[in-house]
Structure 1
Amino acid sequence: MTVMAERTSSQMSLDVFERIAAFAEREDETVRLEFIGGRIGVGKVTNGNHGSIIMWLIRQCMRARPDLDLNPTQGLKVEAYRRGRARPDGVLAPVGHFAGQGDWAETDGVLMVLEITSYDSDTHLRDRVEKPRGYAEAGIPVYLLIDRDSLSVLVHSDPDPEDGYRDIHVVKLGGKVALPDPVGIELDTEELKDYLD
């Protein structure tokens, strides 16, 4: 579950946020903090099915593109002037890309981010509105959203810093979905039906 608390950028600096996030995540490994759209998001680590979806996608990526890693823990600097911090469910980049970059890496070189909807009241705003806007603004080529509410996989591509992703392709779970270049992977999502609760 994620709870969002309203903050304006003048109320909290990124340095303060990063110190709070590092402390909270060190003290309780089930807590994940983000700073998107001037708001702090506090999320608990989700259930086993959420993790199973991530592991499924890691295996698919390793088979199709062994030159890439799907990192489920890397934080990213997003939004204009790097004023946001996001912890996607997965970040796809070349092997070794994040070495030495710390908890919050630049988005240069990131090929795709993954989010999986949670069963909470904030998932619409967070996963369907704020994060796609931030990821497109940061120039990340592909945003993959596995939407467990609508039983769909949404592939966002062709990012525009001002308009967001200009192409959104929707496939019902169970279908095949192509992740466009620079990812270049086709996924058969039939197995994802097993991880819906």
Structure 2
Amino acid sequence: MTVMAERALQSPQMSVEEFERIAAFAAKETDDAVTLEFVNGRTGVKKVADGDHNTIVMWLARRCMQMRPDLDLYQTQGLKVEQYREGRARPDAALVPEEHFAGHGEWADPSGVLLVLEVTSFDSDTDQRDRQEKPIAYGAAGIPFYLLIDRGNRTITLYSDPDPKVGYHNRRREAFGAKLSLPEPLGIELDTEKLKQYVD
């Protein structure tokens, strides 16, 4: 059964409004130590990032600043995702035009987001969340690119050509060490050799 067929058979755990109330309460009561997402109709807990995870996000931020100083890389900005904006996700980073999220609330509309980044964690939910559900959710929201840095598989994958029904039509996967181009309108070249240092 395809992921899309499985999604059609599942009923949401709760409404988006109920999730937002629970997420706000959890953030307040735990001083943001717990990050919740609502993807594919279910609540997920996003693991607190480790040092290597954060270093990878900063690695991408430096490359973006060097090659595209007109863009900002926001970390953990909440986004309304999936078809009809029924999901809520906190990507590890979102690449947007400068000051794009100024004035937005906790859960921003994804319009104008150029790329979202996820860096895998070493937990049991990573495969389902980052490799299966997030490509569908981000593609359905119309985000042009999804960049997955997969520490478990030592790969970097660029998803492109979003479609509200299937997620993304195109996927290019490279092993750490390869060069990967983020096409226009981004025009950013990534040499991923450095990523090998952050997986052991």
- TM-score range (shorter-chain normalised) is over 0.9
Alignment check: 8 A CA contact 2:47 2:121 kept: no
Counterpart selection for 1:164 from 162, 167, 170: 167
How many matched pairs?
Answer: 190
Q: Report the secondary structure of 1:33's partner residue.
A: strand
Structure 2: distance between partners of 1:179 and 1:173: 15
Normalised by the length of structure 2, the TM-score is 0.91
Unaligned runs of 5+ in 2: 1-9
Alignment check: 8 A CA contact 1:143 1:155 kept: yes
Alignment check: 8 A CA contact 1:157 1:180 kept: no
Structure 2: distance between partners of 1:27 and 1:64: 40
Shift, 1:120, TM fit: 1.1
Counterpart selection for 1:22 from 7, 14, 24: 24
Unaligned runs of 5+ in 1: 1-6
Structure 2: distance between partners of 1:183 and 1:142: 10
- Runs of 4+ with deviation above 6 angstroms: none
Shift, 1:138, TM fit: 0.6
Q: Report the secondary structure of 2:104's partner residue.
A: coil
Shift, 1:163, TM fit: 2.2
Structure 2: distance between partners of 1:185 and 1:132: 21
Alignment check: 8 A CA contact 2:115 2:145 kept: yes
Structure 1: distance between partners of 2:167 and 2:72: 25
Alignment check: 8 A CA contact 2:71 2:95 kept: yes
Q: Report the secondary structure of 2:79's partner residue.
A: strand
Q: Report the secondary structure of 2:102's partner residue.
A: coil
Structure 1: distance between partners of 2:103 and 2:72: 15
Q: Percent identity?
A: 59
Counterpart selection for 2:86 from 83, 87, 105: 83
Counterpart selection for 2:54 from 41, 47, 51: 51
> What is the one-letter code of the residue matched to 1:148?
R
Structure 2: distance between partners of 1:119 and 1:65: 31
Backbone CA RMSD of aligned residues: 1.3
Q: Report the secondary structure of 1:93's partner residue.
A: strand
Counterpart selection for 2:194 from 173, 191, 195: 191
Q: Deviations over 1:19-63 (max 9, x none)?
A: 211121222222110000001001231211001101111111111
Q: Which residue of 1 aligns with 2:180?
A: 177
Q: Deviations over 1:81-138 (max 9, x none)?
A: 1110000010010111011111100010000000011111111111111100010101
Normalised by the length of structure 1, the TM-score is 0.92
1:95 aligns with 2:106: no
Q: Report the secondary structure of 2:180's partner residue.
A: strand
Q: Which residue of 1 aligns with 2:117?
A: 114
- Comparing 151-160 with 20-29, greater Cα deviation is found at 20-29
Q: Deviations over 1:60-92 (max 9, x none)?
A: 111111111111120100011111000001001
Shift, 1:142, TM fit: 0.5
Shift, 1:160, TM fit: 1.3
1:31 aligns with 2:14: no
The structure where strand makes up a greater share of residues is 1
Shift, 1:172, TM fit: 0.8
